[in-house]
Every structure is written in C-alpha cells, then in structure tokens.
Chain A
Amino acid sequence: MADTRTITVTVNGRVCSREVETRLTLADFLRHELNLTGTHVGCEHGVCGACTVLVGGVSARACLMLAVQCDGREVATVESLADGDELNPLQQAFRDNHGLQCGFCTPGILMTLTEFLRDHPDPGEAEVRDVLSGNLCRCTGYQAIVAATLDAAKRMRGGA
C-alpha cells in the first residue's frame, strides 16, 4: 500500500489540503496536484535550479523536498510575483533587458532573485553572478539576466 498523508500547505497565500503519497516531491505536488505549472523541473537532482521556490521565505530546490515536509508551511512560487497581469519590477526588468529566451529556467531564477534582492537591495555584478551560479540557463549566457537583476534592484530602490 502506498504511504500517504493529508497535508495542508499555504501556497501563494492560499491554503491547500491534499492527500498525497509521502514520496511525492514538492515540485510534483505544486505542478501536478495544484496545477501550478510555473515551477519547472529541469534535473531532479538539485543542480539546475529551475524548480527553485521559497519555503518559509527562503529559497529551496523543490525537487529536493518532499511535499509532506511542507505540511503547515508557506510556499511561494513564480505565480505569486505579478499583481494580476501587472508584472512586478523584477519581472518587468527581465522583459526590458531580454533576460529570458526559452523561459524554462526563468521561474527558478526569478525566485532566487526575489530572495536575493530582498536581502541585498544594492548588489554589485559579482554578487549577482555569485547567486545566479545556483541556476543554470542554456540560452542567454547570463549577461542579460545580470543586467536585468541590476536594473530591477535599481527600480526596487526607487531609482528607476
């Protein structure tokens, strides 16, 4: 018999209860149980960072957590960033600077940077590259992502 549990997770402010198999990863829970398909799965071994979400406000690989571990906790995904269809400053800076091409790694990068810019409102390029080293992108060569991040930081500080 499959080992299951009923869990309650607050995802993007919404309380969600589901009965899940205990081996279900957080990434698959978000994508396939809650249909929040913005969180992408790129390697399932914690390297590519495409599945990065915030758990309790802290970035984590959703492929390396089990859904049951989030019982009673808060999770934020890429779907939480925009206000309706209004892009937030980070998203807008990505669009303005061509910080994405195929868009697959983008959600994980946005969540990594959401945490990073919250804690480092005025980063330098080296710090941005350092934090981005936890996310793989095969399209952009990172240059436009770095530019977008610095631009977003400026906007968020009110300097735009």
Chain B
Amino acid sequence: MAGKVPERLNRILLMVPFIVANGSATVDELCRKFNIDRDELVCDLDTLRMCGVPDYTPADLIDYRIEGGRVFMTMADYFKRPLTMTREEGLTLLVAGHALIRSGVFESDGPLGTALDKIERLLSVEEQVELESVAERIDLEMNASTGSWMDIIEEGLEKQQRLVIDYYSYSRGEIAERRVDPLSLLWSRGCWYLLAFCHEACDTRLFRLDRIRSLKLTGEPVEDDVTKFEVPELIGEYKPGRKAHKVKLRFSGREGRRLVEEWPTAKVADAPDGTIAVVLRTKNLVWLSNYLLRFGDRVRIESPAELRKMVKEKARALLKEYGSG
C-alpha cells in the first residue's frame, strides 16, 4: 500500500471534495496538488471504489472514471466539502503566524491577526484553549531584516519585478552586481536568504540578505518560466562536491564541537590527548581563512598547506593594521 494509513486517509478525504465539488478534476491538477504520481492517484481512487454507504450495493459505492485526462466521480456527495481545519493545521498556522509576526513581515493587529481568529473559531472552545497554550510554548525565532527587506517582499515577490543587487560573496570575498528574478525568501538556521534566478549564473542561486549591499528596482517583470521552483532542502555548503578542499583542523577546546554543530557534514573525533579533530570540506578557502582567525591559539590548521599560508598572510597583515606587526 502507498503510504501510512493516517496520511493516505487524510489525502483521500481531502482529494474527494476537490473532484466532487466540480464534478471532475484533471489528473495533472490532482497529482500536482497532492504531490503524488498517477499510479498513486489511481491506487487512491481504486480504494474509494470499495467504499460507500449501506447497503453497499453497486449503486451505493463510490465510482470514478478517467476520461480525457479528467477524473469524474459519482456517489460521494457526502464528501462534497473538505474536513474542517484540524487542531494540527490550526497549530501549524498559529506557530507560523507568530514567527512571521516576530520577523516583522506582519503586524500582530493586522489582517493576519483577524484571519487567524477566523481559523481558531473553527475549533471547539476547549481545543482553542489547548491550542493557544501549546502554540505559546513553541517559539520560532525569525529575526527582522533591515535594508532591502521590504523592497524584496513588496516589489520583488509581490509585484514580480526583476531586481539588480550588489552582492558580497563571503566565500569568495568579492562584490559583484547581479540581475535576479526573485522566487522566495527563505529562513534557515538563523539567516534570511533570497532565492532567485540569477541572470549572470543562468540558474537559481541563494543570496544571504545581510550580504546584499544595495538593491535597484528595474521596473521590468520577471521571466514567466522561472516562477516555478523547488524549495531547497538544505542551505549552506552541505554538498561541496568532489572539487572541494578537504580541511583538517585540531581544536584544543570545545569550540571544535560547536563548530561541527554549525556544519552538520563536518566530521569530529576526540583524540586521547583531549584535543578535538575536525574534518570539513569546502569549495572555497577565502571565507574559512577569515572565519578561523577568531579561534587564535585554540585551533591548529593541519591541512591544506594553501589554507595555512592564506591564514598566515592574513593574520600578519591584520596585525600590522593593529600596530602590532
């Protein structure tokens, strides 16, 4: 059977109203909406064919047919509307709503507040009390961003306008201008990112919001065919690829372990002498040579030699600036 029972049941009970309400729905639309392939759809529909109300004669069972890419369904009128919002869905909307209010995207007494009230009213009084108590104890930090933040939301995402950004690439230490078609704002591990189609790279790219130096509106619309996108599963250098440098570090204290918490793909091992060995991979050494400076004598850079050289030069130059060189 495809999928776990509650998950499938949920999907089926939500899918039937979408077909019944209009008498039919296209196969493509159903697959897209419910994130399933045609086989899974047919499997769900075949299950429904076994269902109905007493006396379970053929005239009492749900039936469907697929014609010209559309699914037609009969004898399921009691499922004409979806199940009302559930507690789980209510909790999700409340938690997400609170996070977006904290981030400053919405005001607490604006349209989001009144909309969430309308959703809550779908639940019983006891459920509302319980839900609010739980939602208050799930606190997701989303910091407000400054600078180009509201322009990206209002001009880039809402009006779907192309933007020109001056972007500081931390990994390469360079600033360059890029023309981008904004797709989404992403929040991941404590930072905001703009996901956009970059016309210089001819591909989708992520831009950290606090590294956008400036932003210009172009007044041009984004290209139509780039508005479809997949939300990335991971952000950061998680899959650096084969060309990446392999970096070996040795920490004298627990910073090593903290560092690994920031780079989930880094490997960590405790040595018998109490030091912590960390191995990580990265495409670019420039950012790392800056990043490591903070650890002072608590880190030893074992390899590569190129990184040792870069850090040495950087530390010497900086010491000169500080008047201690």
The answer to whether A and B come from one shared complex is no
